[in-house]
């Protein structure tokens, strides 16, 4: 229906006024024409603490130093990816020139992977997967009556799926990634060609420049550094629940926790695996284990899937501890800020089309692993200072960490939760 004022204008015979009034909304609702960039670049920068930092990025010497009381100093992780719409001139090359504080030398080399055939899985004849996966969720001293959801691997192999297992897709804003499948030329770091490791105490503040044989030169300056470390503390309550507390991070946009344990049959075979997530809804895994944009975190907080940045504690229900094994491994994520750069910058006038040569996204998070019901890493290790310089020098010569195998089969859902595959 038209607004009544449009009818009055028509009755007055003002055809020109009618045209102007109808045209005005279209002008105010005009959307800017945006062209895809030639190159996209992403940096995922993380801080790892507790058991997550042991042996990661610092080599075995760093892990042994921590276990020997050398302090619970945080480690860093970083993943670089570039995707371009162009093919390279000659062999594909890409180099990221780092600020001096990064501790990675002048630059790191991004590698374009060589296509290879996917390994074929050999089915095991006459065997069905054994055991169950019990899924709980929500913070509180006790689990709701509708929990746990029980996944019997043998029944799943026969096509018997439990009702309500899968939550609806999250459809998160900004949920995208650079992959070989959406790029004409793709490269990443760390890789088998560049074995440099990140050192504790490094900083990515300052000027960054990426030069490649298949994309325009990318240059930007970071004024946001790695997030501070998370220190998770947990203790068993009289009710049998496990209370988790952690330090508040000023740059955190939200928190998410999960825990995993298993019971065995005494012969090394798991019988029951228990998985718990802090979400108040039946949502777990997937993008929650990744870096998330502030917009995505806000949506997940509204859905009660992610805890708000003001929250610094959560209780694992007593049923989770009772159903699991003697040891429960916990993980806690603090999602952080996100930065965007582009050249040329996006015009403020929507009438001007935007044709960027390149765009860059930088995401941050902090992550820790802990043994549920045990003191935090700092309490266990003390605070006697940082690791020895010898350990740091060793880290620079270590090869990059091997990529985890892909999660496959029915047991993959539990294996990924335990960090055994991706």
Instruction: Find out whether 305 and 191 touch, Cβ atoms under 8 Å.
Output: no
Paired with 361 in beta bridges are 42, 340
Q: What is the pLDDT of residues 250-279, one digit of tens each?
A: 999 999 999 998 887 666 666 788 999 999
pLDDT in tens, 279-335: 998 877 778 888 999 999 999 999 999 999 999 999 999 999 898 878 889 999 999
Closest by CA position to 357, among listed 79, 142, 40: 40
Q: Cβ(240)–Cβ(318) under 8 Å?
A: yes
Q: Which residue has the tokens 């802990």?
A: 370
The pLDDT, as a whole number, for residue 279 is: 93
CA distance 241 to 328: 12
Closest residue by Cα to residue 344 from 336, 335, 353, 332: 353
* Interacting residues of 105 by C-beta distance below 8 A, sequence separation 6+: 98, 196
Q: How far apart are CA 168 and CA 346, in angstroms?
A: 34
pLDDT in tens, 392-422: 433 444 444 445 555 554 445 454 544 555 5
Residues with Cβ < 8 Å from 147, sequence gap 6 or more? 135, 136, 137, 138, 317, 319
Q: What is the Cα–Cα distance from 102 to 178, expressed in whole angstroms? A: 23
pTM value is: 0.78
Between 319 and 17, the higher pLDDT residue: 319
What is the β-pairing status of strands 270-277 and 232-236? unpaired
Q: Is the pLDDT of residue 125 over 90?
A: no
* CA–CA separation, 125 and 365 (whole Å): 43
The larger pLDDT score, comparing residue 384 to residue 74, is at: 74
pLDDT at residue 19, as a whole number? 30
Q: How far apart are CA 412 and CA 420, in angstroms?
A: 9
Strand pairing class (132-137; 270-277): parallel
What's the rounded Cα separation, in Å, for the pair 348 and 359? Answer: 17
């Amino acid at each position: 229906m038209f607004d009544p004022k449009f009818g009055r204008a028509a009755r007055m015979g003002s055809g020109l006024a009618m045209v102007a009034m109808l045209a005005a909304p279209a002008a105010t609702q005009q959307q800017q024409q945006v062209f895809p960039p030639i190159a996209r670049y992403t940096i995922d920068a993380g801080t790892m603490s507790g058991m997550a930092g042991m042996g990661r990025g610092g080599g075995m010497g760093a892990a042994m130093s921590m276990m020997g009381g050398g302090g619970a100093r945080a480690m860093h992780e970083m993943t670089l990816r570039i995707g371009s719409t162009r093919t390279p001139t000659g062999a594909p090359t890409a180099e990221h020139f780092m600020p001096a504080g990064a501790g990675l030398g002048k630059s790191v080399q991004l590698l374009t992977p060589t296509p290879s055939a996917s390994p074929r899985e050999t089915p095991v004849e006459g065997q069905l997967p054994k055991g169950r996966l019990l899924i709980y969720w929500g913070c509180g001293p006790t689990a709701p009556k509708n929990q746990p959801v029980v996944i019997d691997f043998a029944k799943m192999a026969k096509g018997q799926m439990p009702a309500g297992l899968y939550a609806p897709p999250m459809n998160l804003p900004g949920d995208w990634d650079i992959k070989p499948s959406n790029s004409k030329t793709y490269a990443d770091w760390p890789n088998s060609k560049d074995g440099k490791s990140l050192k504790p105490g490094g900083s990515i503040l300052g000027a960054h420049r990426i030069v490649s044989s298949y994309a325009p030169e990318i240059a930007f300056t970071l004024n946001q550094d790695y997030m501070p470390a998370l220190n998770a503390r947990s203790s068993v309550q009289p009710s049998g629940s496990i209370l988790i507390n952690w330090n508040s991070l000023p740059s955190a946009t939200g928190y998410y926790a999960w825990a995993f344990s298993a019971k065995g049959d005494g012969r090394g075979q798991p019988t029951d695996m228990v998985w718990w997530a802090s979400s108040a809804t039946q949502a777990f895994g997937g993008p929650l284990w990744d870096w998330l944009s502030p917009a995505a975190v806000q949506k997940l907080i509204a859905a009660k899937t992610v805890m708000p940045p003001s929250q610094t504690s959560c209780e694992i229900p007593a049923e989770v501890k009772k159903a699991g094994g003697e040891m429960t491994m916990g993980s806690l994520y603090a999602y952080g800020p996100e930065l965007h750069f582009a050249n040329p910058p996006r015009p403020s006038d929507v009438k001007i089309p935007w044709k960027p040569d390149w765009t860059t996204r930088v995401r941050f998070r902090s992550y820790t692993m802990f043994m549920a019901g045990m003191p935090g890493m700092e309490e266990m290790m003390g605070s006697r200072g940082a690791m020895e310089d010898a350990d740091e020098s060793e880290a620079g010569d270590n090869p990059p960490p091997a990529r985890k195998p892909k999660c496959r089969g029915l047991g993959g859902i539990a294996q990924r939760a335990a960090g055994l595959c991706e």
